[in-house]
């Protein structure tokens, strides 16, 4: 009986078609409803309970925070709408299979492994945040944000339990990922807001008129905590813009937006940016100030909103980790095409859960988010040029497929040289990692344009010579 059940389960899971190796058919395309809730749910996440407090710790002033978040989040939405969405709607392919056409199988293999591992680490931080709340009723000691390694067997069991649930949702496919987010988001954002309002009296806010003064004096004071660097408007703006650089400028959200009926659905990301990366970051900063310092997200939420706050942390982590594991699973699928998608996603969930056991992922979240976006950014520039720009300037798209290449050296050189130049700018010019994405993107564009023109001219000359010789 057990074997029969497993065979039926395997058949059922194998029947879930996510079109990972082909364009999404017209019949499966989705309208606004398929994206508004997903973006809102993904970006109203458990990690907002970490990022908001980190802005407080780094001494961002109240005015700098608000204006930085407004400008940065608008730029992020425009990046989704004008860079990622047009590419996704035109190709209807995942990032990973589009790259194979452009870069060749060997270069795509290297990139997809790097991409998948980084998404595993990101999803791991979401699982770790959820686990800080799940462990509360069981009295499991939660690691502090300064701990690098697992602190107890109970913590490891909690992490793997949360990881299993999240992975199962990701296995079910994009429809279930989006449905889960649509159901969870409205309640989550209300808990964030209610929790922040509940602790304002503890900070001295008893009327609306008192908020701004208290915000400047007791929450976002402009004075960094001991041992922390000072953040300004520019840090906040660029972090809000580039926190999801891998998704929009780096094109990873092709995997999501390939289901869109039109490119304007990229504006759906505004729900995530302004409910999650504006309201939730501010709310979690308020909660941290009331808690007199950054502590485990689950405890912060529980102290301010009780059981509802703890549950919010759990679900918020799930709604972000679900699509992140989904993306990572698609990346691994392109590396292991003979594996069934559900088995690849299960493996991805295992890797992610192991990573989540290490609290350092949460402690270094700001730096990690900036780093993984920067690493994936050059290939985003390559894809944008290849899909959108090349047809307009007479260059061939999908050159590796056209020329039957396993390794497109112009794309590979663009990736490696851009990262080397960004490292040089960081080390020798003192530009912080948060700011490198903007010059890095233009560097990648110039390099790929120049090298592709050179490579394709050589290919065309060679083809002309071979054609002439064949006729002779």
Q: DSSP string of 364-416?
A: THHHHHHHHHHHHHHHHHHHHIIIIIHHHHTPPSSHHHHHT-SS-HHHHHHHH
Of 224, 218, 240, 268, nearest to 89 by C-alpha is: 268
SS3 246: coil
Q: How confident is the model at residue 148 (pLDDT cuts 50, 70, 90)?
A: confident
pLDDT of 86: 94
pLDDT of 9: 41
As a whole number, mean pLDDT of residues 67-86 equals 95
* Structural domain boundaries, residue 238: 28-366
Asked if the structure places residue 335 within a domain, the reply is yes
Rounded CA-CA distance 208/184 in Å is 29
The whole-model pTM stands at 0.80
Asked if the structure places residue 32 within a domain, the reply is yes
State the CB neighbour count (10 A cutoff) for residue 84.
28
Asked if the structure places residue 374 within a domain, the reply is no
Which uninterrupted H or E stretch holds 185? helix 174-203
pLDDT in tens, 104-130: 988 988 888 887 777 777 777 777 777
pLDDT of 6: 40
pLDDT in tens, 220-250: 888 887 777 889 999 999 989 988 888 899 8
- The mean predicted confidence, pLDDT, of the chain is 79
CATH number at residue 218: 1.10.4160.10
pLDDT at residue 414 above 90? yes
Rounded CA-CA distance 170/398 in Å is 30
pLDDT of 294: 46
As a whole number, mean pLDDT of residues 295-307 equals 66
Asked if the structure places residue 418 within a domain, the reply is no
Structure tokens at 388: 């959108």
How many helices (H) and strands (E) the chain has is answered by 22, 0
As a whole number, mean pLDDT of residues 175-204 equals 73
Number of domains in the chain: 1
Residues β-bridged to residue 260: 30
Q: What is the DSSP string of 35-55?
A: HHHHHHHHHS-TTHHHHHHHH
> For the CA atoms of the chain, what is the radius of gyration?
23
Asked if the structure places residue 347 within a domain, the reply is yes
Rounded CA-CA distance 20/13 in Å is 15
Most confident of 25-34, 316-325, 376-385: 376-385
Q: Between these two residues, 417 and 305, which has the higher pLDDT value?
A: 417
Asked if the structure places residue 257 within a domain, the reply is yes
pLDDT of 354: 83
pLDDT of 75: 96
Q: How confident is the model at residue 143 (pLDDT cuts 50, 70, 90)?
A: low
Asked if the structure places residue 465 within a domain, the reply is no
Q: Between these two residues, 142 and 435, which has the higher pLDDT value?
A: 435
Locus of tokens 């594991």: 325
SS3 279: helix
Of 89, 56, 337, nearest to 218 by C-alpha is: 56
Residues β-bridged to residue 61: 221
State the CB neighbour count (10 A cutoff) for residue 453.
14
List all residues 6 or more positions away from 257 whose beta carbon is below 8 Å from its beta carbon.
Answer: 35, 80, 84, 85, 88, 89, 265, 266
**Size of the chain in residues:** 472
Asked if the structure places residue 22 within a domain, the reply is no
Locus of tokens 């970006």: 43
pLDDT of 293: 54
pLDDT of 311: 72
């Amino acid at each position: 009986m057990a074997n029969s059940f497993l065979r039926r389960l395997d058949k059922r899971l194998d029947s879930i078609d996510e079109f990972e190796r082909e364009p999404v058919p017209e019949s499966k395309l989705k309208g606004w409803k398929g994206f508004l809730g997903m973006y809102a749910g993904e970006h109203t996440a458990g990690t907002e309970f970490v990022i908001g407090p980190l802005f407080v710790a780094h001494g961002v002033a109240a005015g700098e925070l608000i204006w930085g978040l407004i400008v940065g989040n608008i730029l992020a939405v425009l990046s989704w709408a004008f860079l990622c969405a047009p590419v996704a709607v035109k190709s209807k392919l995942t990032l990973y299979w589009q790259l194979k056409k452009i870069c060749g199988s060997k270069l795509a293999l290297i990139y997809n492994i790097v991409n998948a591992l980084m998404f595993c680490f990101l999803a791991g931080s979401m699982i770790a945040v959820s686990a800080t709340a799940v462990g509360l009723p069981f009295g499991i000691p939660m690691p502090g944000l300064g701990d690098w390694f697992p602190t107890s067997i109970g913590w490891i069991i909690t992490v793997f339990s949360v990881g299993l649930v999240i992975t199962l949702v990701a296995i079910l496919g994009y429809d279930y990922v989006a449905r889960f987010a649509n159901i969870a988001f409205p309640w989550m954002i209300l808990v964030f807001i209610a929790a922040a309002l509940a602790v304002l009296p503890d900070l001295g806010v008893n009327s609306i008129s008192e908020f701004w003064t208290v915000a400047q004096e007791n929450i976002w004071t402009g004075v960094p905590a001991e041992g922390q660097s000072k953040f300004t408007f520019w840090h906040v703006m660029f972090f809000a813009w580039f926190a999801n650089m891998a998704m929009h400028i780096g094109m990873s959200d092709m995997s999501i937006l390939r289901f869109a009926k039109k490119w304007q659905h990229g504006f759906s990301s505004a729900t995530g940016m302004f409910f999650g990366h504006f309201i939730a970051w501010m709310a979690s900063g308020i909660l941290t100030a009331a808690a007199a310092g950054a502590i485990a997200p689950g405890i912060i939420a529980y102290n301010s909103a009780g059981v509802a706050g703890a549950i919010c942390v759990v679900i918020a982590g799930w709604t972000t980790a679900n699509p992140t594991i989904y993306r990572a699973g698609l990346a691994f699928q392109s590396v292991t095409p003979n594996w069934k998608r559900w088995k690849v996603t299960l493996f991805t969930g295992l890797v992610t859960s192991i990573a989540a056991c290490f609290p350092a992922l949460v402690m270094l979240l700001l730096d990690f988010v900036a780093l993984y976006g920067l690493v994936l950014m050059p290939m985003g520039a390559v894809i944008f040029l290849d899909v959108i720009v090349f047809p307009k300037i007479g260059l061939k798209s999908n050159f590796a497929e056209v020329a039957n290449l396993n390794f497109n050296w112009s794309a590979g050189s663009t990736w490696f040289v851009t990262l080397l130049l960004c490292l040089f700018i960081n080390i020798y010019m003192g530009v912080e990692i948060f700011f490198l994405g903007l010059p890095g993107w233009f560097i990648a564009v110039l390099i790929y344009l120049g090298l592709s023109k050179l490579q394709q001219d050589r290919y065309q000359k060679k083809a002309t010579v071979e054609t002439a010789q064949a006729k002779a």
